Amino acid sequence: QVQLQESGPGLVKPSETLSLTCTVSGGSISSGPYYWGWIRQHPGKGLEWIGYIYYSGNTYYNPSLQSRVTISVDTSKNQFSLRLSSVTAADTAVYYCARYCSTTRCPFDYWGQGTLVTVSS
Amino acid sequence: EIVLTQSPDFQSVTPKEKVTITCRASQSIGSNLHWYQQKPDQSPKLLIKFASQSFSGVPSRFSGSGSGTDFTLTINSLEAEDAATYYCHQSSSLPQTFGGGTKVEIK
């Protein structure tokens, strides 16, 4: 059974960089054919797709965040990470990592529990 | 960007009633439409993939239909545990997008 767990600071100051890591257990990130994604949910709102990564490093980002977001992978640690720069209060959200069931045409079949990141001074 | 419009936004339903939630895409997405259930303070859970395929372990009262631009999630004989917000998600084109959600309340 694949499990995903987000980790990182719960409080980030405005203009700084939000950094989160998703640790995958119960399966290898580098075994393929799975893609891995980040999604966020503003308080009391719907879901926003951030982007995805493949273990080879292939990525795609939401154009609305593209200038500020980086998703990377560390296969040796079975982790992938999210960095979002120049954050503002509008980036306060619960951030989820998730696995695509195979290719990116697939849905997300496994999700982390989510981690709340608050942007505040 | 493909916009997914869900309706209704909110539905209050009596147990054992049938619930129908629709998701309309701003352009054709084939069958690349998936449904999730999210309960308060939990992460979303996959219910239906590719418009009509049930995900493993999902109760048979949940079903999906549609293709192209119009999709439906049906919950037959609603149970109290089905109180949640339901989201559709398109994976046809990038950026991927989600519907705004439909909150189902039990009367």
pLDDT at A39 over 90: yes
pLDDT averaged over chain B? Answer: 97
Burial B62-87 (b: 16+ CB within 10 A, else e): bbbebeebebbbebeebeeebbbbbb
Residue from A4, A45, A69, A105 whose CB has the most chain B CBs within 10 Å, to mutate:
A105
Instruction: Please give the full DSSP string across A3-56, using - where no structure is assigned.
Output: EEEEES-SEE-TTS-EEEEEEEESS-GGG-S--EEEEEE-TTS-EEEEEEE-TT
Q: What is the mean pLDDT of residues A1-26?
A: 97
Residues of A with CB under 8 A from a CB of B: 39, 46-49, 60-64, 96, 98, 101, 104-109, 111-114
Contact A105 B91 (CB under 8 A): yes
Q: Stretch B75-94: mean pLDDT, rounded?
A: 97
| pLDDT above 80 (res A32) | no
Tell me, what's the pLDDT at A85?
97
Closest by Cβ to A112, choosing from B36, B43, B87: B43
Cα–Cα dist A38/A58, whole Å:
14
Interchain pair B44, A108: CB under 8 A: yes
pLDDT (mean) for A70-80: 96
CB contact under 8 A, B49 and A49: no
Is B55 in contact with A109 (Cβ distance < 8 A)? yes
